[in-house]
Amino acid sequence: MSDLKTLAEALKNGTYSRVVFMVGAGISTGAGIPDFRSPGTGLYANLSKLNLPYAEAVFDIEYFRQSPKAFYTLAGELYPGKFLPTKFHYLIKLFEEKRLLRRVYTQNIDTLERIAGVGADYIVEAHGSFAANHCIDCDAELATELLKLDMEDELVDGIPVCRQCGGYVKPDIVFFGEGLPDRFYDLWEQDCKKTDLIIVAGTSLSVYPFAGLPAAVPRRTQRVLVNQERVGDFASSPRKVDILALRACDVIADELAELCGWADELVELIRKGKEGHEAKNTDKGVGTKEEEKEEKEREKEKEEKEEEKEEEKEEVERVKTEDEPDIDEIIKDISKLKVAEKELAPTEK
């Protein structure tokens, strides 16, 4: 707690004004989303029923090409809309409102930073998210509404397919075997040099290159670890001035907000967030499903009309071909008529 008090004083007196958060699944467990690697409770542990060759195969692009069902079984548990941001997500939003936030680098694909209201320019989704979806073959984009409908459609076995080429569609989540977004590297090159405080929270720091970021910041940069245990560079190469807050992320969010004098503001942010979520759901209600159904029906009608036009075009070409006179045959017929006329004509005496 003493280290947190020191941190809080520094935040209040303006010592730090360019704060970078690095967050992982641990900040979302309070929302009901299991993390990936906790023994017995992590997402990987819950995938045993799918008979995967290895747990990480669910996020392997080559395995997805062969068997996308595993990923979409997991995606159904993680899809945005089911979960609300945690206190720690709103703490990040509070840093933005206090003009202390420079960036938040997240390994999470749950988009809860966005839902908490953090501005898009501040967020770097290092491992992608469900915000957009593309065909893995032709790269055509599929609207999120249609992706969700396909996930619920037994006719396609719950696997979204491309309307253009029939290939599998995948949310823009970075799988093993795929590169991280250029935005991740471009912004980190700037942020690494300019941040004066980095807060690492809820991550095992086991997946690179993300895991290497805390070690890359200059030694003058204050580092804070919010986690249940020491991880990564905080365990292997700790710095004397590192601040370790080895407790649950939401607990630390409460403690830090209290020490900074922001507790009421954090509570208000959470209240507004919940009210906004409830209002949004009330406005949509059953209409959401109806709108999605109508959208799919419109898409189907459009495809059927295009098919009808193509069939009509083919029929016109066929009829046109059948009706076109054969010049060679006409010439032959004329020749035959002339011969016949000569044979029938009276012989001159």
Annotated ligand binding at 348? The verdict is: no
Task: List residues bridging with 224 in a β-sheet.
Answer: 199, 243
Is 135 marked within a binding site? yes
Q: What is the mean pLDDT of residues 8-35?
A: 92
Q: At residue 324, does pLDDT exceed 70? A: no
Establish whether 227 is an annotated binding residue. yes
Q: Is 335 annotated as a binding residue?
A: no
pTM, rounded to two decimals: 0.74
Q: What residues are annotated to the active site?
A: 127
For 129-165, write each residue's pLDDT tens digit.
Answer: 888 899 999 999 988 888 887 777 765 677 888 989 9
Is the peptide bond prior to 209 cis by the omega test (within 30 degrees of 0)? yes
Sign of the torsion formed by the C-alpha atoms of 86, 91, 97 and 103: negative
Residue 144, annotated as binding a ligand: no
- Residue 27 annotated as binding site: yes
Distance between CA atoms of residues 319 and 99, nearest Å: 71
Q: Could you read off the pLDDT of 225-238 as tens digits, one per residue?
A: 999 999 999 999 99
Q: What is the pLDDT of residues 54-66, one digit of tens each?
A: 877 888 999 999 9
The pLDDT of residue 225: 98
Residue 121 has pLDDT above 60, yes or no: yes
Instruction: Provide the sign of the torsion angle of the four alpha carbons 228, 234, 240, 242, taken in this order.
Output: negative
Residue 203 marked as a ligand binder: yes
Greatest CA separation for the chain? 139
* Rounded Cα gap, residues 115 and 89, in angstroms: 9
Q: Cβ distance 294 to 45 under 8 Å? A: no
Give 190-215 pLDDT, tens digit per residue. 999 999 999 999 999 988 899 999 99
138 marked among binding-site residues: yes
Comparing 153 with 321, the larger pLDDT belongs to: 153
26 marked among binding-site residues: yes
Is there a contact between 101 and 21 (Cβ–Cβ < 8 Å)?
A: yes
